[in-house]
Amino acid sequence: MSEHVLEKQFADLAHQSETAELGIWGFIATEVLFLGGLFCAYTVYRYLQPAAVIEAARHTKIVIGSVNTGVLLTSSFFMSWASLAARAGQSRLLGWLMLIAAALGVVFVALKGLEYAQEITEHLWPGQHFSLDIAEPREGEVFYFIYWLLTGIHALHLIVGICAVSVIARRAMRGEFSAAYHSPVRVVSLYWHFVDIVWIFLFVLIYLPGRGA
Amino acid sequence: MPMPPRRIAIVWLVLLGLLGGNILLAYAGLGIAAPAVHIVIAAAMAALVLLVFMELDRGASLFWVFAGAGFFWLAILFALTAADYLTRYNFAPTTGG
């Protein structure tokens, strides 16, 4: 197996794996800046319109949001376990753990879809039919614009992650990875954890404001 | 069913605990300090994921440079944006820009 997966530009598998891992860290750095720009927009708007953001955020679905955060953290736990199983050469266990992580990702997307459906019914989609029972509904609408944009981009990242993890899980089940060669597992797991970190911050910025009042 | 490695199982439980704590604190009425408290707890959770789940604590120093670079440029983005918005009187929060 190992002779077939080593690309000719690398000295050995360790060199190849380290390069792949460095590549995904570089990709994550670009993602930090891409999403960071949107987080920056949120921060500026919250500074400009603190009352409207707090009032609008109170209408987000905190139960679904909290459950989903727990689901994503749990999926990260299984993904981390999968990385360790890959290093130990436990191919079948690795495959199952990745499938569990991907399934939890599907649960997250399904719950998010349920939440989106409720919000559309409540006219929280910005535009002509937007309606929000707060003192400054127009300012609240901008919060929901940022909300849909950020959570939508996050959900898109997660769907890409579910597909990538499912493909790698299938390869693991076929026994394509070993203790010496499993860098695709490391690469998708780092991406998966990053998407989890983005949600950790999204959760506190979107769902928690204004709950104590 | 094989048992999960102890280290990551503990981190997972700590993460769920921090999440629960953050939610409870949101209802505790922390007032003006609330956003800072929530962000600090979220940053602690992110640090645990980065160090343990993403294995940055055992990673090569070059990984640290790449991971740090994103956050370094992010800090510049936030700092320069804040330098603008925090110093313009016509963007004061009360007027709404």
How far CA A17 is from CA of A21, A24, A183, A185, B32, in Å, comes to 6, 11, 5, 10, 47
Reported confidence tier of residue B94, pLDDT bands at 50, 70, 90: low
Tell me, yes or no, whether B4 lies in a domain: yes
Does residue A133 sit within a domain? yes
Is B96 contained in some domain?
no
User: Which chain A residues have a beta carbon less than 8 Å from that of B26?
Assistant: 208-209, 211-212
Q: Note the pLDDT of residue B88.
A: 80
The CATH code of the domain that includes A101 is 1.20.120.80
A2 band by pLDDT with thresholds 50, 70 and 90: very low
Claim to verify: residue B51 and residue B70 sit in the same structural domain = no
| Domain shared by B54 and B64, yes or no | no
Distance from CA of A16 to the nearest CA of B (A): 14
Residue ranges of B 6-35 with Cβ closer than 8 A to chain A: 8-9, 11-12, 15-16, 19, 22-23, 26-31, 34-35
Contacts of B22 in chain A (CB under 8 A): 204, 208
Q: Are B50 and A197 a contacting pair at CB < 8 A?
A: yes
Q: Say whether both B65 and B54 belong to one domain.
A: no
ipTM: 0.93
- What is the domain count for chain B? 2
User: Are B69 and A69 in contact (CB < 8 Å)?
Assistant: no
Asked if A73 and B71 come within 8 Å (Cβ–Cβ), the reply is: no
In a domain, A188, yes or no: yes
Q: What is the dihedral of CA B65, B66, B69, B74, to 10 degrees?
A: -140
Is B51 inside a domain boundary?
yes
Residue B97: band (very low, low, confident or very high) from pLDDT cuts 50, 70, 90: very low
The stretch B30-45 carries a mean pLDDT of 94
DSSP-H helix ranges across A49-178:
50-57, 62-87, 91-121, 137-173
What is the model's pLDDT at position B92?
Answer: 58
Overall size of chain B counted in residues: 97
| pLDDT reading at B56 higher than 60 | yes
* Structural domain span for residue A159: 13-207
Sign (positive or negative) of CA dihedral A145, A146, A147, A151: positive
CA B79 to centroid of chain Cα atoms: 16
Residues B25 and B46 in one domain: yes
pLDDT tens digits along A81-106: 999 999 999 999 999 999 999 999 99
- The answer to whether residue A2 sits within a structural domain is no
Name the DSSP letter for residue B88. -
Q: Give the structural domain span for B79.
A: 60-89
Q: Is A107 within a domain?
A: yes
Is position B84 within any domain? yes
Q: Are B22 and B43 part of one and the same domain?
A: yes
Q: How far is CA B46 from CA A4, A116, B12, B27, B75, in A?
A: 37, 26, 12, 22, 16
**How far is C-alpha A21 from the geometric centre of its chain's CA atoms?**
19
Domain shared by B49 and B30, yes or no? yes
Angle between helices A183-206 and A137-173 (to 10 degrees): 160
Do B53 and B67 belong together in one domain? no
Which of A44, A83, A201 comes nearest B81 by C-beta? Answer: A44
Residues B75 and B41 in one domain: no
Has this prediction a pTM greater than 0.90? yes
Q: What is the mean pLDDT of chain A?
A: 94
**Domain tally, chain A:** 1
